[in-house]
Structures are given as C-alpha cells and as structure tokens.
Amino acid sequence: MFSSADAYERFMGRWSRRLAPALIDLADVGAGAEVLDVGAGTGVLAFAVREAIATARVTGVDPSADYVAHAAGASADPRVAFEVGDARQLRFATASFDRALSLLAINFVPEPAAAVAEMARVTRPGGVVAAAVWDYGGGMEMLRVFWDHAVAEAPALASRDEAHLPLCRQGELGALWRAAGLVDVVEAPLTIELGFASFDDYWAPFLLGQGPAGAHVAALPAARQAALADRLRRHLLGDGPDRPFELGGRAWAVRGTVAPSSR
C-alpha cells in the first residue's frame, strides 16, 4: 500500500504538500524547534517545516523503506533527517522534541493510541503534539467520489471504503488526544482545493497502487478498472468533453500540549 515513493508523490504527495503548511501553523512551530514527523512518508511535512522555519530541525520516521530512501535522497540539508521506524515504538529519549507532528498517517498506524502516547512521551513538557487525517467520509472529495463509485460497482467492497478508517470523523482526534493526557486540545478543519488538469490527471494516479484506493484499483482486472473509470468520468465530467476540474480536500486536525507538570 505504501511501497513506491514516486507513485505516492503522484497520487497523494502533491496534495499533502498543499496541506502541510496549515498543520505547521496549527502546531505553532517556532524558530529553532526540534520537530518529529511521524509517518513522514516521502518527507512532505518535514520539507515544509524546513521551508517555513529556517532554523527548525526535523526528524522523519516511517516504516516504508522506499519512502524513507526517497525522502533522504531528496535533500542534503543537515537540518532534515529520515529513518525507518514505527510510531508505536520510537527510539528517541523522553522529551527530545519541541513538536511531534503527523500528517495523514496516524489513521494507518494499527494502534493509534500507542502512537499518540509515544509522540507525547518524546515531546517536552509544554511542547505540542499535532496531527491531521483526511475526512474520508465527506470532505476529502477525491477519495469520497472514488469510494462511492467503487462500492456502487461492487457492493461487497463497502467495508474497505476509507470512510471506515479510524480518526477521520470530527471529534475523534480530539478524544484520542485527551485520552492520551494532552491538555489544551484544539481541533480544526484544514481545507485545500485539489485542481485536476483532466480526467486522466485524476484517474491515472489511482492505477499506481498506493494507499487503500490505489491498492484496490491495482488488484482489479482491466475490464473492471475500465468500468470504474467510466463511472467516475461520467460523475466528474458528465457527457461533456475532458476539461480541468476542482474537488475539495478537507482534513480534521488536532493539537494538544504535553502538560507542563507531566514529568
């Protein structure tokens, strides 16, 4: 599902890059901050932190060796480093970071509560833990439209619709953050527009096998891929000619503070 960095960049990296600055703002990353990026993938958030705050240092952690190699190879900047690791068991000492962030990843960790506990542990008292997850059930229209038609074409797929992923509904991230003992918890929607140059610009990245939607398409026989593409094209363009179009992209985000008296 998360195995090819170049494919991920074409499928989702181009959109997570647009979302990253809003999460950095929400987390209030300041000058000189030591930042952890959990589920860093191809390095989108880590590089956005570097762009936004010249003096910040970022460490990105992700279990996908291909994504980590891609991220590490993308820059020789000593302020940004990447390594293979699992959010549930971070190798870092307690209170090592000022900020622990995670963009579009915590919902994919098998035990998200363990990941948040680790993010809180490695963040210093008074530091901030923040994350964002696409609103798969509604506001992430690129995937919402896809799953609506994939399930209409094959109703047995309903349980694989990403709307069932944990933490993608309003309030869920906040509840998880409070349960982890984080304080001053604030939730916010983060919204971008996804602009597609053509139907192929929307559809072709689904063929690359990344994420649950891409994994589904890649496993379909060619005739069913074509049938699904046809349904989606009619939904997005009607009977008209190919043209550029826009879809909404909303994520739910949360920030919480490690209680100053927690250690």
Which of residues 35, 45, 120, 133 is near ligand SAM by CB under 6 A?
Answer: 45
> Which residue number, 138 or 237, has a Cβ lying nearer to ligand SAM?
138
**Closest distance between ligand SAM and the C-beta of residue 238, in Å?**
30
Q: What is the token pair recorded at 198? A: 């053509």
Q: Cα–Cα distance between 138 and 150 in angstroms, integer?
A: 15
Q: Determine the angle formed by the axes of helices 172-179 and 112-121, rounding to 10 degrees.
A: 50
> Which residue number, 87 or 229, has a Cβ lying nearer to ligand SAM?
87
Q: Determine the angle formed by the axes of helices 141-153 and 222-237, rounding to 10 degrees.
A: 130
Q: What is the token pair recorded at 129? A: 């833990």
- Scan for tokens 């390095």, then name that residue: 43
Q: Determine the angle formed by the axes of helices 14-27 and 44-52, rounding to 10 degrees.
A: 50
Site string for ligand SAM, 84-103 (x = CB under 6 A): --xxx--------------x
- String of b and e for 103-127 (b: at least 16 CB within 10 Å)? bbbbbbbeebeebbbbbbbbbbeeb
| CA 151 to each of CA 141, 157, 163, 184, 230: distance values in angstroms, whole numbers, following the listed order | 15, 5, 12, 39, 14
Site string for ligand SAM, 167-206 (x = CB under 6 A): ----------------------------------------
Q: Which stretch binds ligand SAM (CB under 6 A): 25-33, 37-45, 188-196, 253-261?
A: 37-45
> Which residue number, 12 or 199, has a Cβ lying nearer to ligand SAM?
12
The enclosing H or E element of 59 equals strand 57-62
**Binding of ligand SAM by 62 (CB under 6 A):** yes
Report 101-160 residues binding ligand SAM (CB under 6 A). 103-105, 108-109
Q: Which stretch binds ligand SAM (CB under 6 A): 27-35, 80-88, 141-149, 246-254?
A: 80-88
For the chain, state the CA radius of gyration: 19
> Which residue number, 106 or 199, has a Cβ lying nearer to ligand SAM?
106
> Which residue number, 88 or 231, has a Cβ lying nearer to ligand SAM?
88
Give contact residues for ligand SAM (rule: CB under 6 A): 2, 12-13, 16, 38-41, 44-45, 62-64, 67, 86-88, 103-105, 108-109, 211
